Amino acid sequence: MAGGRKSKKLTEEVEKKARIEVIPLIDVIFFLLATFVLFTLSLNRIQSIEINLPQAVPNARPQEDEDKPITLQVSDNGNYYWNQELLSLREVEIRLDNYVSDEPNPRVLLTTDDLARYGDVITVLDMVRQVEPGNPNKVQVSFETVYRPTGR
């Protein structure tokens, strides 16, 4: 019997040594979490730049834009439209020269329809770029990427 008591006592000691206390671990985890949060908050330094944004006015009518861009549309078979008016390539070049010399802020909206050829678009783009060097007014060119019916 003496041997049985010792083995029972040893197993009880082993069971006591293998026990893991969870409460102190939770305290340690909360301490680490609080330390991490405080540390990261001290790192944030907000740097900003003052920007004056425009204020929206309810029911305001849009102002008429005096320097509206001209719409230059390229279509099939060498058809060119200057603000919905059918012109030849030579007439487009003449109007473009006059427009750039008269307008202080010349803007061109270049658009095509689904029948236009790539070469015709490049020809018109080159024409717009050639007007620019001799003129003090810099031409701003924009490309429209939505579908537009012919002549619109």
pLDDT, averaged across the chain: 78
* The pLDDT of residue 24 is above 80: yes
Amino acid occupying residue 15: E
Confidence (pLDDT) at 35: 92
| DSSP tally for the chain: helices H, then strands E | 4, 5
* C-alpha span between 26 and 83 (Å, rounded): 74
Confidence (pLDDT) at 88: 85
Highest mean pLDDT: which of 23-27, 29-33, 48-52, 99-103? 29-33
* C-alpha span between 132 and 101 (Å, rounded): 10
Tokens at 26, concatenated: 């939770």
pTM: 0.52
Q: What is the pLDDT of residues 99-118, one digit of tens each?
A: 888 887 888 888 888 888 88
Q: What is the pLDDT of residues 58-113, one digit of tens each?
A: 766 655 555 678 888 888 877 888 888 888 888 888 888 888 888 878 888 888 88
